[in-house]
Amino acid sequence: MNNRISWRQKLASRKFWALLAALAVSILGAFGFSEETTLRVTGILSAVGACAAYMFAEALTDQASGNAGAGTAQTRVEPEAEASGYEDSAAGR
Query: How does DSSP classify residue 87?
Result: S
Ranges of the chain whose pLDDT falls below 70: 1, 67-93
Q: What region, left, alpha or beta, does residue 92 occupy, with left being phi > 0 and alpha being psi -120 to 50 degrees?
A: left
Indicate yes or no: pTM above 0.85. no
**36 in a structural domain:** yes
The tens digit of pLDDT for each residue in 67-84 reads 655 555 555 555 555 455
**59 in a structural domain:** yes
**65 in a structural domain:** yes
**89 in a structural domain:** no
Q: How many residues does the chain have?
A: 93
Predicted pLDDT of residue 89: 47
**92 in a structural domain:** no
Total number of domains constituting the chain: 1
Query: Which structural domain range is residue 38 located in?
Result: 7-84
Q: Which residues contact 70 (CB under 8 A, 6 or more apart)?
A: 62
